[in-house]
Structure 1
Amino acid sequence: MATAQEIPDILSPEFAADPYPVYRALRESVPLLWHEAMQSYVVSRYEDVERVFKDRDGEFTTDNYDWQIEPVHGRTILQLSGREHAVRRALVAPAFRGSDLEQKFLPVIERNARELIGALLDGTAPGIAPGTASGTVDLVEGFATRFPVNVIADMLGLDKADHAKFHGWYTSVIAFLGNLAGDPEVAAAGERTRQEFAAYMIPVIQHRRERPGDDLLSALCAAEVDGVRMSDEDIKAFCSLLLAAGGETTDKAIASIFANLLAHPEQLAAVRADRTLIDRAFAETLRFTPPVHMIMRQTAKEVTLSGGTVPAGATVTCLIGSANRDGERYADPDTFDIFRTDLTSATAFSAAADHLAFALGRHFCVGALLARAEVSIGVGQLLDAMPDMRFAEGYLPAEEGVFTRGPREVRVRYGA
C-alpha cells in the first residue's frame, strides 16, 4: 500500500497529466488526506463523496463558497440553505424543467446547434480546414466551446456577438475556482471579472425590468415566490453562475462524449443507429470523464469518514473524478461502457443519479436537464451532419485540467 508521501501531489504536473492512477492510490491507501497547501481534507471514495453531497444529517455546509465563489460571482444560490435556498431555487428552477424548457428553450438549443454545424460544414467556423469533399474539424473550437454559451446568451436575451466577452469571463471564473495553488494573478483576474460582468449585466437587467421580453432574464426579473423577488444583484450573480457552470461543464461534456465514443467505434456505431443511447453515452461520460473533478464543502461539526475524522469548520475537497471510478461502486470502473448495468441513464439527470458529476442532495445541479437537452440535440445533429465522423489521421485526444477537465481539442475527419 502506498503512503501519502509516495502518491503524486494533486498540484503536481504528474497529477495534471493523468489523475486517474493517483485517484486509485488515494482510494486504496489514503481515502482521507490532509492537504497542507490547499488547507483542505481530500476524500476520494464514492461512499464518502456521496455522503458529503447528500448530507442527510446536517454535517456539511456550502459556507466554503463565501470565499471560493462569491469573489467572482457575488452571493449565489449555492451559498444558501434552509428556506432561503428553497425559495431562491423555486424562483429559478422552472426555466430549467418542464414546459418552459420544452416550449421556450428546446427551439433555441436546436437553432444554435444547427447554425454552428452549418458554419462548420461551410468552412466559416473556427477549427475547420475545408476540402472539396471532406474536412477536418476541431469539435472543441468549432462547436463545443461556442454552443452552450450561445444557448445561454439566447436564453437570457443577450447579444451573441458578445461571445468573446462571455467566454473570456467564464474562463477567468473557472481559473479562479481551480486556483488551488493560490496564484495571486489568477485571483485578481477573477475578481476583475466580477466587476466587468456587473458593469455589463446590471444595465441590461434594469432595462429588462422596464421592458420585459419573452426570455429567461425577463422571467427572472418578474419571478416571485412567497412575496420574494430577486434583486438586480441576485439576478446578476445567477447569470454569472449560469454562464460559468453551464458553459464550462457542457463544453467539456460534449467534447468528452465524442472523444470517448470515437475511441470506442462499436459504441459510436450503436449510438448512430439508436439515438436514444445518447443519454447512456452522456451518463457514462459523466461517470468516466466528468467535466468537474472537484467540489468543496465545509464541515458543520466533527465528522468521521473513511480513514479518519474531520474537525468542524474544515474544508473538504470531494474528488468526483475519483469517486466515479471507485471499483467498490462500479464494475471495471476504468472502462468506458455505455451499456454498463451499474449506471442508470433514466435517473442520471436527476437528484436520484447514481453518478456524482452533478453532485447530489439539495444542491444537485439545477441545470442538469438543460445540459441533457443540449447534449442530446448537439450530439444528434453532429452525428446527422457527419455520419462518417472519425478521428483525424494521427490524432489522439488528450485531456487537460485539474479542477475541471476535458479534451483540449477533438480533431475529427468527415467525408471522403
Structure 2
Amino acid sequence: MTTAPQEPTASHASSSPDILSPAFAADPYGAYRTMRAHAPLIRHEATDSYLISRYEDVERVFRDKAGEFTTDNYDWQIEPVHGRTILQLSGREHAVRRALVAPAFRGRELQEKFLPVIERNARELIDAFRHSGETDLVEAFATRFPVLVIADMLGLDKADHDRFHAWYTTVIAFLGNLAGDPDVAAAGERTRQEFAAYMIPVIQRRRSAPGDDLLSALCTAEVDGVRMSDEDIKAFCSLLLAAGGETTDKAIASIFANLLGHPEQLAAVREDRSLIDRAFAETLRFTPPVHMIMRQTAVEVELSGGTVPAGATVTCLIGAANRDESRYRDPDRFDIFRTDLTGTTAFSAAADHLAFALGRHFCVGALLARAEVEAGVNQLLDAMPDVRLADGYVPSEQGVFTRGPTSLPVRFTPVGARPDRG
C-alpha cells in the first residue's frame, strides 16, 4: 500500500475504536457510532485493511457499479478452508457457476422440494423439548436447525451433525481470525482436508447413482456446456454449511432475543405471522449475523474520509452501516414496524439493508434463510405460545466477525404434542 487515507485528524485516527479490543467485542455499536461520525475511513494496521462504516460507502462497495472492487481477498480469506469457491469468481465464470447452483435456492424448487425438509427438521427438533416447559433456544434449536436442513438437502447422513457443526464452527473461527492466531489458522486448514476426505467420495458415489437431492442436482447440472467439478461441488458444500449454518443459526437466536426484549412486538408477531418477514428483516438490520465482509480495491478509490489505494483490503462494517443515522430513523431502536425498511424486498438484491450484501455477490441463500426462519419461528411460537426469558436472564451477543446470542434460556407452558402449523 502506498498511500494512507486522509482521515479527519491525526489525533482522531489514534483514538479510533479498535475492532480487535475486548471493549469492541463487548459492544461494537457505540464504536460504530464514533466511526460513522468521526472516522468513516480507518487504516487498521492489525488487519492490514481499511475500515468503512457508513451506509453509502458499504453500499457502493457491494453494488460496485464502476468495477472498482474485487473479491480477490477471498483467495487468502476463505480458499484455505473451503477451496476455490463461487465467491472468488467474476464475469462469465461467476455467472455460469451461479446459474448452476441458484435454481435450488429459488422460489418454486425451494418451496416444492425443500420446504418439507425444512418443516420436518424444525418439527423434530421442537418435539424434543415441547413438553419440557423450558429450553435453551440456541443450544436446542438454533445451532442445530440450519445444519440439519443443509445436510438433509444435500442428502448427507444427519447422524454426522456433530462433525458438520464442528467443521463449520472451525471455518467461521478461521474467517473471523482477524488477529492472525496461528492455531486457529491451522485448525481451519485441517478442516478443509477433513471435509474433502468426507465429501469427495460422497460426490463420486452421487455422480454414479444420482438421487433426488441437492448434491445430485449439483453433480448433474450443466449450463452452457459447463459442469461443476468434484472440487467445485465440495467447495460449494463447504461454503453452504458454514455460511448457511452460522448465519441462520445466529439470525434465529437474534430474532427471539430481539422479540423477547420487546414483548409488544412479540405479541404482534404471534398474532399475525406475516410479520415474521418484518421481524427477520429488522433483525438483519439491527443485529446482523455477519458484521463485516471484505473486498479488494481494483483501482484507487475515494470514499468518505479519504482515499484507498489500489490493491488494498476494505473491511465493510455491515453492523455499522445498518445503523447509519443518515439512512434509518432512530437506528439503535428495534422496530419491526419501521417505515424505512422494506420487508417485501429484504431477501432480494433490492434489499435496503446490507446483511446479505448487494449486487452480483448478493447471498444466493437468502431465500433459503427466509424459508428456514419462517418455518422455525412459526413452529416455535406454536409450541411456546407464552414463551418468555428465564427469570433474570438478559440476552447478550458475542462475536466480532459474526455475532449473536450464545445462549437463550426460555420458559413456556407446554401445549399439544404437535404444532398446528407445518
Q: Place the TM-score, normalised by the shorter chain, in its bin.
A: over 0.9
Give the Cα–Cα distance (whole angstroms) in 1 for the partners of residues 69 and 16 of structure 2. 27
Instruction: Select the residue among 37, 60, 67 that pairs with 2:76.
Output: 67
- TM-score, length-normalised on structure 2? 0.95
What amino acid maps onto 1:27 in structure 2?
R
Query: Do the aligned residues in 1 keep the contact of 2:397 with 2:403 (CA within 8 Å)?
Result: yes
- Displacement, 1:120? 1.6
Instruction: Select the residue among 38, 41, 50 that pairs with 1:41.
Output: 50
**Counterpart position of 1:286:** 284
**Counterpart position of 1:91:** 100
**Counterpart position of 1:191:** 189
Give the Cα–Cα distance (whole angstroms) in 2 for the partners of residues 7 and 35 of structure 1. 10
- Displacement, 1:8? 3.0
Give the Cα–Cα distance (whole angstroms) in 2 for the partners of residues 183 and 328 of structure 1. 36
Give the Cα–Cα distance (whole angstroms) in 2 for the partners of residues 109 and 4 of structure 1. 47
Deviating beyond 2 angstroms after TM superposition, the runs of 4 or more aligned structure 1 residues are 4-8
Give the Cα–Cα distance (whole angstroms) in 1 for the partners of residues 111 and 409 of structure 2. 32
Instruction: Select the residue among 336, 339, 357 that pairs with 2:337.
Output: 339
**Counterpart position of 1:111:** 120
Please show how residues 255-334 of structure 1 align to structure 2 within 5 Å: 255-334=253-332
Give the Cα–Cα distance (whole angstroms) in 2 for the partners of residues 13 and 202 of structure 1. 40
Aligned length: 405
Point out the more displaced range, 4-13 or 190-199. Answer: 4-13
- Displacement, 1:219? 0.2
What amino acid maps onto 2:234 in structure 1?
K
**Counterpart position of 2:232:** 234
Please show how residues 177-256 of structure 1 align to structure 2 within 5 Å: 177-256=175-254
CA offset digits 1:209-244 (Å, max 9, x no partner): 001100000000000000000000000000000000
- Displacement, 1:136? 1.9
What amino acid maps onto 1:372 in structure 2?
R
What amino acid maps onto 1:274 in structure 2?
D
Query: Do the aligned residues in 1 keep the contact of 2:17 with 2:35 (CA within 8 Å)?
Result: no
Point out the more displaced range, 309-318 or 6-15. Answer: 6-15
**Counterpart position of 2:419:** none
**Counterpart position of 2:377:** 379
- TM-score, length-normalised on structure 1? 0.96
Give the Cα–Cα distance (whole angstroms) in 1 for the partners of residues 17 and 89 of structure 2. 35
Unaligned runs of 5+ in 1: 123-129
Give the Cα–Cα distance (whole angstroms) in 1 for the partners of residues 234 and 129 of structure 2. 33
Point out the more displaced range, 3-12 or 296-305. Answer: 3-12
- Displacement, 1:355? 0.1
- Displacement, 1:322? 0.1
Instruction: Select the residue among 350, 353, 375 that pairs with 1:352.
Output: 350
What amino acid maps onto 2:358 in structure 1?
L
Instruction: Select the residue among 107, 120, 134 that pairs with 2:129.
Output: 120
Instruction: Select the residue among 84, 87, 90 that pairs with 1:81.
Output: 90
**Counterpart position of 1:22:** 31
Name the Cα RMSD after superposition.
0.9
What amino acid maps onto 1:184 in structure 2?
P
Give the Cα–Cα distance (whole angstroms) in 2 for the partners of residues 272 and 96 of structure 1. 27
